[in-house]
Chains A and B, each alone.
Chain A
Amino acid sequence: MIVFDNVYFQYEPEGIEALCGVSLTVEDGEHVAVVGPNGCGKTTLIRHINALFTPSKGSVTINGYDTQDAGRRNEIRQMIGMVFQNPDHQIVGMTVEEDCAFGPENLRLPTGEIRERVAEALDRVGIAGLAGRNIETLSGGEKRLAAIAGILAMRPRYIALDEPTAFLDPVSARLVLEMIDKLHSDGVGIIHITHNMAEAAGTERIIVMNKGSVYFEGTPQVIFRNVDKLKTIGISLPQITELLIRLRESGLPVRTDIGDMDGAVSEIKGLINK
């Protein structure tokens, strides 16, 4: 379990607070989305989970290990994989398999086990065929999958993804989202930062951040019921929710707390059947 207890963080000693009084928990195997406007502290928040940043005040514990404890950081980082926003900023290897092996090499695993983990991770994200390819010859989507495979090779219990669909075309973005769903169904906890509320709608819980604190949180249904609150901080709703709101405003008695296509289809079908 990931626990943030009244966490404060400043980038510079006298600077503005990037996190102010954040308290939240993420259960094992949970799929959580973190949304919020630019500069609200989303990236700072997930960098605390991986112990890349440590709180100025308060504490972050991962399965009971405090991130301030330098002796436990490797265990924490092994437990929580972190996928950066830009794969070019994360990939260090020259070929897909070499990059995938970087984490296990750091864990000082024997060569045989490294090879086994690399093969397994590449297979899990569906890019086993690209193992020997030079990173520079990959498309944006393939690079993102390679970055995820590099994390999976460390066999983490949670994965924190910083805007995993940023800069991707719709087809590649769908591929990455399907991969995330698959990992979640395999029992990996997911912390997914996104600007796209339609992506957040597919998670179990949404944490809305604003100005360094948790603005409010809840299931997607709870979040979409608070349209005004979201609009106040400049977060736009999924198009499908906007459509349902318009339908309701025009007199149709539809629910407006739905953010995904399947939910909207069954709601409208139900209405037609009535």
Chain B
Amino acid sequence: MYHTGFYLNGTSPIHRLDPRVKLAAVIVLSMVILCVKPPIVILVAAVCLCIVFAGSIPLRIIGQAVKPLIIFVGLIFFTHAFFSEGEAIALVNLPYLNISLSRNGMEEGGLVALRFLCLIVAAVILTTTTTPSRMIAAIKYVLGPFKRLHVPVDDIAVMMMLAMRLLPLLLMEKERVETAQKTRGCDLQGKRLAVRLKAFIRLTSTILLGVFRRADELALAMEARCYNRGERTAFVELSMRKTDYGIAAVLIVAGGVLLGLNSFI
């Protein structure tokens, strides 16, 4: 069974927090984390970890989110570690290439990797503690001012909702077609590249055909329910509570303090 998004049902203070506050915090964090000095990065990472615990997010979920990107994070670390200038602590002799592992490079690599991990964790906190519909409502709110510039904010929100709805269906369709093709002798894991390529093309073309057919039918169903491009009202209405304002204020103050500290270090 495929579920939409990563949302984990819960009643923690992080779950209850207005999604606009969470979204704004993640946007600000993404910008700040890239320009602050190492001690502040470590402090932010510690805060992120505290929020993970406060939101009762299992570390397994964080691990699942980090896993597909671990090679990328590792690559960042080793590139810095081996190719940065500084005092060499080990030499690696490769044919045609002499590279050195430097302390400075390791520190730099570790810091960039930590910054990257902080971004992933922040995104996981946001998606696991916010229902997709509240998230869309928040994005719609954030994009609200762009309506004046004729940005189709309502249409973007509907597109996001459809994408979230259709993604699990697409995965199910893929599984169904894959099983159907396997039962008829299609070798999807064949050793020969040509065979695998042929099977892959057959699989994707069948899935794409199904997706286009489904998209056509869905468009008709939406039209049948009076969907027209343009403004719509919303079932999910966001309202800021006193706590939300309080937490937003705390976040602003904390951000200011961190930036202040950053300039003194």
Say yes or no for A222: interface residue by CB 8 A criterion. Answer: no
Say yes or no for B194: interface residue by CB 8 A criterion. Answer: no
In the assembled complex, the CB of A79 is this many whole angstroms from the nearest CB of chain B, namely: 11
Residue B4 contacts which of A74, A89, A94, A110 (CB distance < 8 angstroms)?
A: A94
Per-residue contact bits, chain A 85-121, to B (CB 8 Å; 1 contact, 0 not): 0101111111101100111111111110011001000
Asked whether A84 lies within 8 Å of B226 as measured between CB atoms, the reply is: no
Residue A151 contacts which of B131, B222, B225, B236 (CB distance < 8 angstroms)?
A: B225
Asked whether B221 lies within 8 Å of A114 as measured between CB atoms, the reply is: no
Q: A94-B132, A134-B3, A136-B3 are in contact. Are A102 and B225 (CB under 8 A)?
A: yes
One of B79-87, B158-166, B177-185 at the interface: B158-166
Asked whether A92 lies within 8 Å of B221 as measured between CB atoms, the reply is: yes
Docked complex Cα distance between A50 and B222 (Å):
12
* Contact partners of B168 in chain A: CB under 8 A: 136
Asked whether A103 lies within 8 Å of B226 as measured between CB atoms, the reply is: yes
Docked complex Cα distance between A13 and B89 (Å):
77
* Contact partners of A94 in chain B: CB under 8 A: 4-5, 131-133, 161, 164-165
Asked whether A136 lies within 8 Å of B234 as measured between CB atoms, the reply is: no
Say yes or no for B254: interface residue by CB 8 A criterion. Answer: no
Say yes or no for B107: interface residue by CB 8 A criterion. Answer: no
Question: Which of B220, B224, B236 is packed against the most chain A CB atoms within 10 Å?
Answer: B224
Say yes or no for B67: interface residue by CB 8 A criterion. Answer: no
Per-residue contact bits, chain B 142-178, to A (CB 8 Å; 1 contact, 0 not): 0000000000000000000110110011000000000
Asked whether B228 lies within 8 Å of A101 as measured between CB atoms, the reply is: no
Residue A105 contacts which of B131, B165, B232 (CB distance < 8 angstroms)?
A: B232
Docked complex Cα distance between A102 and B223 (Å):
11
Docked complex Cα distance between A102 and B218 (Å):
13
In the assembled complex, the CB of A101 is this many whole angstroms from the nearest CB of chain B, namely: 3
Docked complex Cα distance between A155 and B235 (Å):
17
Instruction: Tell me the B residues contacting A by CB distance below 8 Å.
Output: 1-5, 131-133, 161-162, 164-165, 168-169, 214, 217-218, 220-228, 231-237
A-B contact pairs, 9 of them (CB 8 A): A77-B225, A88-B214, A94-B133, A102-B227, A106-B228, A106-B232, A114-B233, A135-B165, A136-B3
